[in-house]
Amino acid sequence: MLEITDIYASLAKREVLHGISLTAKAGQVLAICGPNGAGKSTLLKAALGEIPARGDVKLNGQSTAKAKASDLARQRAVLPQDTQVAFAFTVAEIVAMGQEAGDFAAEPGLIEAALAAVGLANHATRPFQTLSGGERQRSHLARALAQVWQPIGPQGPRWLFLDEPVASLDLGHQLQVMRLARAYADQGGGVVAVMHDLNLSAMFADRMAFIIDGRLAAEGTPAEVLTAPLLERAYGCKVAMNTAPQSGPWFLPQACDQA
């Protein structure tokens, strides 16, 4: 269980999160959605302790503010939006950093398995700098997977935090990454993902938190959250709503209100 209680955070002295409380359960995918600048990534960063924030965050019942970084690293892994790497590390060396940080340092073949899971099995020896944007993002996902390889550990479920995991991926790899996240949750792990794509979120997430202007505007299943009035309020667009046979609601943006 991830319990975020009453989080306030400021960037450059401007308050951007105005008291958000949110819980995520292990075994589920939680998608954090909302328009640009609403505070989705800031919420994730505040929940992860990357930026100073008021409020309380508990992971598996323990306050993360007091936890040791090395203990947290065994329970959660983070896929960043910024995938820059300094120096000419190979893809395998980067995945190995994840492996060494988690509980699976001694597991043989884990690097290869993690790379295979993200479709980069043949990229182990490549220098990271020679990869495309999408390949870089998937290498980092392999690193995160190698860190929390088994979804359930001795201290409870393990967690994947993903900051826009499909941002620079093509359609096929978007689905591949979302399926990985789904499978991780189905095996008992927790997944929290900041998402832009409402359709992918609706297809793969169990729960959705919708942020507008630093406040939680709606929370629930995608079908409960994604209503036409909310989307119009959030994006200033009319949105055509429909229902896909297996994956629930899907959307098509219509005329925006610039006219």
Which chain residues interact with another protein by CB under 8 A? 45, 48-50, 52, 69-74, 76-78, 80, 82, 84-94, 96-98, 100-101, 111-112, 124-126, 140, 147
Helix 133-147 / helix 110-117 crossing angle, nearest 10 deg:
130
Task: Give 89: exposed, middle or buried? Use CB within 10 Å, 0-12, 13-18, 19+.
Answer: middle
Residue (151 or 222) nearer to another protein, CB: 151
Q: How far is the CB of 215 from another protein (least distance, A)?
A: 24
Residue (86 or 259) nearer to another protein, CB: 86
CA distance 213 to 102: 35
Q: How far is the CB of 5 from another protein (least distance, A)?
A: 21
Q: How far is the CB of 13 from another protein (least distance, A)?
A: 13
Structure tokens at 101: 């940080």
Would you say 30 and 209 are in contact if contact means Cβ atoms under 8 Å apart? yes
Residue (102 or 222) nearer to another protein, CB: 102
Q: Do the bridges between strand 76-79 and strand 152-153 make them parallel or antiparallel, or are there none, so unpaired?
A: unpaired
Helix H, strand E, coil C: the string for 188-210 is: CCEEEEECCCHHHHHHHCCEEEE
Query: Residue 160: which of 53, 29, 22 has the closest Cα?
Result: 29
Would you say 181 and 191 are in contact if contact means Cβ atoms under 8 Å apart? yes
Q: How far is the CB of 81 from another protein (least distance, A)?
A: 10
Q: How far is the CB of 111 from another protein (least distance, A)?
A: 7
Q: How far is the CB of 199 from another protein (least distance, A)?
A: 29
Place of tokens 């896929």: 79
Residue (14 or 172) nearer to another protein, CB: 14
Residue (76 or 173) nearer to another protein, CB: 76
Residue (98 or 249) nearer to another protein, CB: 98
CA distance 142 to 120: 9
Would you say 182 and 201 are in contact if contact means Cβ atoms under 8 Å apart? no
